[in-house]
Amino acid sequence: MIKSTREEAETAKTPVDVDITIDSNAPLHGNIYAVVGAIHAMFEEWSLNYGLFHLKAKIVYYLHAVSSVLGLTAYSSRYAEEFRDCANCIYHVHRTDGLAADEFPSPYAHPTRNFSVDNPFSLWRAVAGILQPPMTQSLAGSSSKVARMLTVLGVGQGVGRLNLMADVHRLLGRNWERRLRLDPSQVERIAQIMFSTTTSAAQKSASLVSEFGFTRWTIEQLPPSIGLFLGSIIVGHHTSTELFQFKRPQTTTTFPQPEEMAQIARIRWPRDVRRDNVRAMLDSTKPVLIATQHLDAGTDGEIREAQEQFLSATWTRYLSQAFGRAFLELRTVLPNPTEPLHVPDLCLSARIYPSNLTYDLTVTENLKQLKEWGEFYNGVAAGLRVVGADVTKVDHEWLTLCHGNDKVSFYMVYKVLHLANIIFSLLA
């Protein structure tokens, strides 16, 4: 529905002109309020995970733009309160349907589930409401993940929060089982946990954490304030360290190996080989099968000359794959300081299928220089496994200590990283 372009501002307080084009024929135009409510719920959910918190800054300007254009002042002021740069935006609306710039369907005439026009859901306001008995804050407009976490906190606070079904209806609504995304088999168990008279509030919270399937990773990614709040409920009221147990055993999280990634890809896309082709073409150390036209006419010498010309053209492009592999290693590989560096050799020969006849290029001065560049970028690709993509400075003593015994790759990597350090120092 909305297409916008945002001009760069020299300073944070400089007004920013934003042009917005509205198309009433867009697929989601008639459901714009439902879309805003869903994106706003996700916007608040990202506050529960500090690893995803940076995504709020990427989407808040779009939410502020659409809420300002639609006249949802409660939402636009909410975004401007958390991200003050939004207040500097000046919107210029253009309609392609001939209607007035502010002519939109009334949100009150089209009631949308899980969307409040005047009271946008706020995670921190809901947490503050849980701390003040009796609980009057509604979770309308929240995602199921947020609703589950706040239910755990509300139950853990004990008296005056969630003791009766009326309290649950006030907090979650009458369709509370749908709000929490519960399976039919879970509804009765969740109700028994919340309204049990034989367990304490902390034990109820611990049981809900297990029943909702929260993992240790989920708890560790919570903002410190909510994490401490939850910890004080579950651990602070009890001396037993066995109270807080997860439903499924947890293992150390590691990045999948290339073989595991290939197996996962084959399960997900059993008939799609494009990923394997791209991966093979970015690896300059392995052969690639290339379909060519069969040469029937001509002598053996002419056929061989044509094959060599094709191989030369292919090889010139093939050497650029080392550079692509270097970029791929930098952005995707998790560095391991104890892993020795290895520079694979370039594959510069060709075999004709099905005769399996081998062709080798005549190495000229030009091809020799290209080969040196390919070997150099192969060394760079190996060297970029030393540190992550976010590292801008590497100490040469650390390189000598960890990778001083490596062969040619060490010197290539040292030169590249040393040059990078010089560039970063000049830009600083």
216 and 267 both lie in a single domain: no
192 and 277 both lie in a single domain: no
Q: What H or E segment, with its residue span, contains residue 94?
A: strand 89-95
**Which parts of the chain have pLDDT scores under 70?**
1-13, 108-114, 132-138, 140, 158-164, 234-258, 273-298, 315-340, 347-348, 352-355, 361, 381, 383-428
pTM for the whole thing?
Answer: 0.48
Last residue in a domain, options 46, 79, 95: 95
Residue 111 lies in a domain: no
Residue 85 lies in a domain: yes
Please, are residues 317 and 370 in contact by the beta-carbon 8 Å criterion? no
Residue 243 lies in a domain: no
Residue 395 lies in a domain: yes
Rounded CA-CA distance 40/60 in Å is 9
Q: Write out the two tokens for 298.
A: 């001509």
Q: What H or E segment, with its residue span, contains residue 95?
A: strand 89-95
- Other Cβ atoms closer than 10 A to 295: 12
DSSP reduced 3-state for 21:
strand
Residue 246 lies in a domain: no
DSSP reduced 3-state for 5:
strand
Residue 253 lies in a domain: no
Region for 158 from its dihedrals, namely left if φ exceeds 0, alpha if ψ lies in -120 to 50, beta otherwise:
left
81 and 219 both lie in a single domain: no
Rounded CA-CA distance 240/390 in Å is 41
Residue 249: per-residue pLDDT: 45
128 and 179 both lie in a single domain: yes
The domain in which residue 359 lies consists of 258-427
Which backbone phi and psi does 349 adopt, to 5 degrees? -110, 165
138 and 25 both lie in a single domain: no
356 and 418 both lie in a single domain: yes
221 and 303 both lie in a single domain: no
Rounded CA-CA distance 214/107 in Å is 35
Residue 240 lies in a domain: no
135 and 177 both lie in a single domain: yes
Provide DSSP, 158-203. Answer: -TTTSSSHHHHHHHH-TTHHHHTT--HHHHHHHHHHHT-SSS-HHH
Last residue in a domain, options 95, 111, 136: 95
Residue 428: per-residue pLDDT: 43
Residue 197: per-residue pLDDT: 79
Per-residue pLDDT tens for 176-231? 887 788 888 888 888 888 888 788 777 888 888 888 888 777 777 788 778 777 77
303 and 415 both lie in a single domain: yes
200 and 299 both lie in a single domain: no
Residue 343 lies in a domain: yes
Please, are residues 91 and 3 in contact by the beta-carbon 8 Å criterion? no
Residue 333: per-residue pLDDT: 65
Rounded CA-CA distance 147/212 in Å is 11
Q: What H or E segment, with its residue span, contains residue 17?
A: strand 16-22
Per-residue pLDDT tens for 385-419? 666 655 656 666 666 666 666 554 445 555 555 55
Residue with tokens 């050799």: 345
267 and 383 both lie in a single domain: yes
Rounded CA-CA distance 322/326 in Å is 6
How many separate domains does the chain show?
A: 3
29 and 134 both lie in a single domain: no
Residue 74: per-residue pLDDT: 87
Q: Write out the two tokens for 409.
A: 């790759």
Residue 317: per-residue pLDDT: 64
Nearest 5°: CA angle at 108, between 106 and 111? Answer: 115
Sheet with 16-22, strands from edge to edge, namely 2-6, 16-22, 89-95
Last residue in a domain, options 200, 234, 268: 234
